[in-house]
Amino acid sequence: MPGWEKWLWGGLGWAMGGPIGGVIGFALGSMAGRPMGGADYSRATYPETRPGDFGVSLMVLFAAVMRADKKLLKSELAFVKDFFVRTFGEQYAQERMILFKDILDQDYPLKDVCRQIKRHMDHPARLEMMHLLYGLAQADGEIDPTEISVIHRIGSFLGINENDIDSIKAMFVKDLAGPYKILEIEPDADLATVKKAYRRMANRYHPDKVSHLGDEFLAVAEDKFKAINDAHQQILKSRNV
């Protein structure tokens, strides 16, 4: 445990203050059998989100989505564990899963958690977070309506507009209008509007926008970028362009 606590308390910034810090501190205290009050990190200011801040914040939101349908599925836990392995490495993945399972048992103010994230995390990082939440919801092969509802609530609390939320949702919930939803346009949009929308979305979701989160998050950003390119190509193909 000492090495793990060093990672948590030494490698994070704003996430260890406020309601997120309370959730993590309570979990660690429960695991260690002692209270975890510790230093007050809430007064510190960090102009850019660190990878550790992003990962710990995501743990708390992952838990909210997994509890939405009142079912804790092995496929969802496997998704979270795989995320930990890819993000932090094999060495501490198992220990973080122990922490995560304790977070799953907690009842915390989701709106306050999201407000803390919104205050400290830039818009591209919050969009990345929404994409990962939908990835978790789809881990069992289908997305439950209660999971969609919780993800939309989270997006609203994070300051993500409805068009962006629906665009990300369309990357996972497929229908005939999906390519248009991804580009945030109507199916009757003319070709000039399609091209303009594609350029706008490609710029918004370019992987370079989240490069500050670390190389381990680029794969997710590249998936989003590919979905936008695929949507554009599907529309062009359907119109014989």
Show me where the domains of the chain are located: 178-241
| Per-residue model confidence (pLDDT) at position 175 | 81
Alpha-carbon gap, residue 27 to 5, rounded angstroms: 12
Which bin fits 153, alpha (ψ -120 to 50), beta or left (φ > 0)?
alpha
State yes or no: pLDDT of 154 exceeds 90.
yes
pTM of the model: 0.76
178-241: CATH superfamily:
DnaJ domain (1.10.287.110)
The string of pLDDT tens digits covering residues 47-101 is: 456 667 888 888 899 999 999 988 888 899 999 988 888 777 777 677 788 888 8
State yes or no: pLDDT of 169 exceeds 80.
yes
